[in-house]
């Protein structure tokens, strides 16, 4: 290595040390936080609405315990649900634009290389990383499905074709409700995989680093 090369490297290292950069882009962290908060409100208020007439079994069906609910009663649950839907859906929208414009979709989500690593790869760490990417990519279709089925239930007269997509009203309700176990299952799998892949450093980089 010649002398100019090594000074450049030294300079770069100097810059890196002086300004420790987070592993995550700032917009990704904002999306992540708004998603956690709005999804929690959507889930809890959604379960409050669910309890007015449980999807499974109607009024005689099993009711969700009070601890998991938000809003106090049906009207309160609906207020929360239809207020948080704006934060939830607009957050998803700007993030979608951001991912497309910055071309993050090309390398930040699951791709052929991950599938290859799982099928023919020999590196166990790379395999877990591939699973991590599969799991966190899966939240995007899960959220879009929740939004799509929710719109169909909120405005069935204006979007009758959404109800049609699922056959009938009951099927639509079941698929919309499926968001709850899907999101909870996702949150568990995603937390465990993040810890396994990157430990506290990765988790902190998405949650806390440079956020305050």
Partner 1 sequence: MAEELNSQNPINRRNLLRLSGYSLGGMLVGGSVLTLAESLAGKATEPLNQKVEELLLKPQTPVPEFPMSAIEPNALIINTYDFTPNINLNEFRLVVDGEVNNPLSLDLATLQKMPRKSMVIRHVCVEGWAAIVQWGGVPLRELIQLAQPKPGVKYAYFISADRYYESWDLASCLHPQTVLAYEKNGAPLPLDNGAPLRLASPIKLGYKLSKWVVQVTLVSKLLPRRGFWEDQSYEWFAGL
**Can you give the binding site for partner 1, defined by CB under 8 A?**
49-50, 52-53, 55, 58, 70-72, 74-76, 78-80, 82-84, 86, 153, 155-158, 160, 163, 169, 173
Cβ nearer to partner 1, comparing 103 with 201: 201
CB of 96 to partner 1, least distance (A): 20
10 Å CB burial of residue 103 (0-12, 13-18, 19+) is: exposed
Cβ nearer to partner 1, comparing 133 with 173: 173
CB of 162 to partner 1, least distance (A): 12
The pair of structure tokens assigned to 145 is: 């499905």
Cβ nearer to partner 1, comparing 13 with 53: 53
Cβ nearer to partner 1, comparing 131 with 159: 159
Cβ nearer to partner 1, comparing 84 with 143: 84
* Dihedral, CA of residue 127, residue 131, residue 132 and residue 137, to nearest 10: 140
Cβ nearer to partner 1, comparing 14 with 164: 164
CB of 76 to partner 1, least distance (A): 6
CB of 153 to partner 1, least distance (A): 8
Cβ(131)–Cβ(179) under 8 Å? Answer: no
Angle at 50 between CA 177 and CA 43, to 5 degrees: 60
CB of 61 to partner 1, least distance (A): 11
25: which DSSP letter? -
10 Å CB burial of residue 84 (0-12, 13-18, 19+) is: buried
Distance CA 193, CA 87 (A): 27
Cβ(82)–Cβ(110) under 8 Å? Answer: no
CB of 131 to partner 1, least distance (A): 26
The pair of structure tokens assigned to 54 is: 């449980």
């Amino acid at each position: 290595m010649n002398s100019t090369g090594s000074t450049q490297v030294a300079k770069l290292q100097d810059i890196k040390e002086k300004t420790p950069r987070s592993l995550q882009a700032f917009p990704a962290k904002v999306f992540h936080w708004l998603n956690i908060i709005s999804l929690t409100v959507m889930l809890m208020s959604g379960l409050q609405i669910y309890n007015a007439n449980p999807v499974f079994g109607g009024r005689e069906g099993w009711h969700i315990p009070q601890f998991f609910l938000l809003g106090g009663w049906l009207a309160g649950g609906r207020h929360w649900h239809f207020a948080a839907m704006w934060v939830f859906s607009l957050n998803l929208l700007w993030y979608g634009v951001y991912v497309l414009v910055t071309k993050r979709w090309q390398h930040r989500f699951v791709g052929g290389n991950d599938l290859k690593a799982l099928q023919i790869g020999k590196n166990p760490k790379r395999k877990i990383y591939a699973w991590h990417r599969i799991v966190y990519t899966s939240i995007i279709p899960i959220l879009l499905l929740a939004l799509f089925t929710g719109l169909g239930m909120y405005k069935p007269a204006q979007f009758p074709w959404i109800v049609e997509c699922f056959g009938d009203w009951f099927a639509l309700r079941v698929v919309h409700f499926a968001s709850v176990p899907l999101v909870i299952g996702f949150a568990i799998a995603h937390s465990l995989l993040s810890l396994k892949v990157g430990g506290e450093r990765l988790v902190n980089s998405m949650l806390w680093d440079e956020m305050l």
